[in-house]
Amino acid sequence: MTNGASKYSTVNIFYMDLPEYGSFPFRVKIEQARQLLYSFGAFHPSSLQGDSIMLNGITRRTILRASCVFICLQSIGLQAEAESALEMKCIKTAPLVEALAPGDSAEEDAFCGIDFTNTSTAICPKTWSTSPGALIYDLTTTAWEGRKSDYEKAICQVGGHARDEARRELAIFKNSMNGRETSGTFAPASLLYYHMSRLLQTRIQVPVAVMAQFPVSAYRQRVVGPGLNYSDSKRLTMLHAGWQEMDKALSNPPAYSHSREIISTDGESLWGVLLLESGHRYGPEVNGTRKSGWGDGQNRDFQQTAPFLALRTDLPLSQAIVSGLKQARADTAMAKALPETISPAQVAWWMHEITEIVILDTILRQQDRIGNIDYQWRWLWTEGKALHQSPSKPDASTATKLQVSVLNDNDAGVRSSYANYARRTGMLDSWHHMDPGLYRRITSLAADFEQSGPIAQAVRQNYRLSAGEASGIVQRGIEVGTQLRERCLAGALRFDLSVSSVLQPQAAIEETTDC
């Protein structure tokens, strides 16, 4: 047992030192066990003070006795529950825009306000998909309120359905993971997608993200240990490899080969990002058929979707949509995914979103986009030039119900070792339609990057990137701006994807824009 300096120290959490397993904290209720504890000589006979005990002077003999006491406590059924001091340090990365929207700022505050010392805040290891992470739950108003340890032991192992027993999901924690046998994830990518999407004012939804740090030892005990246990099956081979890599990294942070990506500079904390995901997964209509397999194949399949084909059709918007649908439906799987009732406005909305996806994924070196595009149903309408949206039907008579895309899964980006499939398969080539506002914003970003302006400096300084990773973002941003400017100068771009044109493509107006 270990404790403070005095001969008698009052505690209600103490440590059992077991030679094979190290030191573990236990909260012990010792009612009805006074004589048992005294008989082993580990405690002073007058040490019982409510739910607390006083420890005798610590000796090796006491440690051995304490181990036996723990075994006996188990045998008589007294409660001994493992606890770990898991606390979070939240870091809000400065945005690339002058000021965050109120909704984004409120979400950041909510993430940073999560209290891991609260007995109704539980954390579970991710037990599905291919990369390790953690889910954070609010247990208030449920049967598990005030019982986070019980919840974590009994419920975390059921995986994604653990949220069914909680009041709500507070956040997902994602850290970088790039072992030889693991899938690839890179936490700074989630932050950069968030900030870059706000800078470009995208219509596509990208989750708010903040940086978070947890003590290495506590996270290893509370999350990684259970993650190793729950993922130990043949069907979760890659996920289990991820948890093994996590355990390796946190057991000896200074020796870990990728420590820069997951360990704080002082070596004491694991770092990653907090975010929340929402929406439902698209089928072939947006993600493509994926029939050509992972990698280049499915990224080329993505370019055979109706909105992508329409984007590359040099006709007025409404005619380009008809052509895109006809070409896409030549594939049997795609024909099933595109009902005859699909509206031109929906295809036009997707066209605009695809331009945003391709621009973001090219600049931020995305390796795993296809199959990871989600959606939410929203009512959309305009008042003046302002776009409004709502999950419920508004009073506005002109509102249109559409699927609005969400990019939840962005963490396989930015890292120098990742494949840039958008760039590699030429997704930016041969566009004929674009929103004039997006064009101006991307060319402005490219100009900042060329001049090593404030946005370029922020990319280099604020996201824990290597010099090569930051320079790659800057260079690719310049390339995207240059390619689109060349299309504009050649007269190949129709600027007809403004909000009003997208919602009423049959009346789309082609705007003039200074290239």
3-class secondary-structure state, position 512: coil
| Closest to 407 measured CA to CA, from 275, 308, 288 | 275
The DSSP call for residue 195 is H
Rounded to whole angstroms, the Cα distance separating 436 from 419 reads 29
Predicted local confidence at residue 397, as pLDDT: 79
480 closest CA partner among 433, 418, 438? 438
Burial group, residue 276, by CB count within 10 angstroms (0-12, 13-18, 19+): middle
Measured on CA atoms in the order 465, 374, 351, 195, is the torsion positive or negative? negative
pTM: 0.85
Alpha-carbon span 324 to 334, nearest angstrom = 12
Please give the single-letter amino acid code of residue 182: T
| Residue ranges in the chain whose pLDDT is less than 70 | 1-84
45: left (phi over 0), alpha (psi -120 to 50) or beta: alpha
- What element of type H or E holds 476? helix 467-489
C-alpha to C-alpha distance for 502 and 486, rounded to whole angstroms: 24
The whole-angstrom separation of Cα 341 and Cα 96 is 40
Q: b or e along 243-259 (b: 16 or more beta carbons within 10 Å of the residue's beta carbon)?
A: bbbbeebbeebeebeee
For tokens 């573990």, name the residue. 24
How much helix, strand and coil, in percent to the nearest 5, is found in the chain?
Answer: 40, 20, 40
Q: Which of 50, 8, 51, 44 is nearest to 28 (CA)?
A: 51
User: Which one-letter DSSP state was computed for residue 301?
Assistant: H
pLDDT of residue 396: 73
C-alpha closest to that of 479 among 440, 437, 428? 428
> Distance of CA 388 to CAs 219, 267, 427, Å?
41, 46, 29
Contact 67, 16 (CB under 8 A): yes
Pair 379, 391: CB distance under 8 Å: yes
CA dist 104 and 100 (Å) reads 6
CB half-sphere exposure, 170, CA atoms < 13 A: 20
